[in-house]
Structure formats: structure tokens, C-alpha cells
Amino acid sequence: MTRNPDDVKAGVAATQQQIADACARVGRNPDGVEIVAAVKYLAIEDLPLLHAAGIRRVGENRTDQLIAKQDAHGDLFTWDFIGHLQSRKVKEIVGRVALVHSLFTESTADQLQTRSLEPQDVLVEVNVAGDPDKDGVAPADLDGLLERLAGQSNIRVQGLMTMPAFATEPEVSRPAFRALRELAEQASERWVGVHQFAQLSMGTSQDFPIAVEEGATLVRAGSVLLGPSDTRP
């Protein structure tokens, strides 16, 4: 599918404005929030439209698509991995991504430690709502995983990520976003000098203004960036 460049520019501009408005409501500087364009549903040939609209960071959910899209347009963006990362797939993305948003198992951490040629920045995914349909470490188990990661020199924890349950009303996601921010604040005190917690990846097309109000620094926006012709969440 070939997107309309004007639609994409309008979608990106509207998303940036909503982020700015959310920051204004809570007294934040919008420069502290970055859009990670979720490109799972975007065709390879349409990626340059995001760059032309001002997007500089993209995230892919699937390793095969990450490789294909990066091989085609690698110089246009900073590349993140935002999907479920299976331990057996780690070898496919090491050296390719700036940030893994979704680390939550020891097996994947062990593979990152073994296969990375240089330290890999990661976010620990936390299932703050205890949703059985979502990935992530339980809040009560976060320190145990952080303890394991503290001994792995090729992994650098930069913050936390969460994906709340789908809700038709964005406000429903607020408690999950607030809980993640509070977890990060608490962890930063316990793990000072060991791990960093400056980055909070939370919020998607359905609820990113609420996430920004609650402290998101990275929002994983997808369909809202592509203009009115796209109806996926």
C-alpha cells in the first residue's frame, strides 16, 4: 500500500501536538518525549514517508521485518525492537538495534549477554496490571531480574516498559502508566549506580496522551502517525 505523504505529515504533526498538549497539562517539557514509530503494519516502501514527516526513531515487533526494513532504509532512522523477543531470535537482532523495549526473561537476557559484541541498551518490560494476556515480569519479581542483569556486562538497563490491557477509553490505562513510573522511581533509588531508569516506554496510538501525562519518555505510536486513511489501533 502506498500512503499519501500529506496524510502522514498531518498524522505526525497531530501526534506531536497532542504530546505537546499533554506535556503542557502536567508541566513537562515536550523535548523529553520521543515518538517511536511502530512500523509493524507499514510497508517497506512507505518508511521514507515517516522520515520526511520528521520521524527519526522506529520500532519493529518482528525480527524478520526489522531486518528487511533496516536493510532497505537503515540510514534513515534509529532502530528499536519493541515486540516479544524470544531467546532464540536474539542472534538476529544483536548489533542492529539501539534499544530493546521488551526484555523480561532470564533466558533472553542470557542470550543478549552471550551474543552481543558490545553493551546492549534495554528496557525491562513489566506487567504492572497482572494481565495474563500481556508479557512482562511481575512487579514483585522486578528486583530479582534486575539482580540477574546487574551481573551481565553486555546489558545496560535504561528504564522500564509496559503494555496495559486494551481499553476503549484511554483513561483506563492511567493506573498502569502511573504504576510503572512509581516502580521506576523506586528502582532508581535501590539500584543507583547499577541501572538507569530515565526511560519509560509506554503509550500507543490508543492512549499515548495519558502515558505522557504520567511520565512516558518514549511513546510507541503507530496508526495515528499515518493519517485518517489508517484505522488500525
What the chain holds in terms of domains, given with CATH numbers, is 5-226 (3.20.20.10)
CA torsion 60-61-64-69 (nearest 10°) is -20
**Nearest by Cα to 85 from 68, 60, 67:** 60
Q: The C-alpha cell of 70 is what?
A: 533496516
Q: Is the pLDDT of residue 232 over 50?
A: no
What b/e sequence results for 170-205 when a residue is b if at least 16 CB atoms lie within 10 Å of its CB, and e otherwise? eeebbebbbbbbebbeebeeebeeebbbebbbbbbb
Residue pair 66/45 in contact by the 8 Å Cβ criterion: no
pLDDT tens for residues 123-152?
999 999 888 889 999 999 999 999 999 999
Rg from Cα positions in the chain: 17
pLDDT above 50: residue 231: no
pLDDT 10s digits, 92-126 = 999 999 999 999 999 999 999 999 999 999 999 99
Do the Cβ atoms of 80 and 122 come closer than 8 Å? no
Predicted local distance difference test score (pLDDT) of residue 1: 55
Average of per-residue pLDDT values in the chain: 95
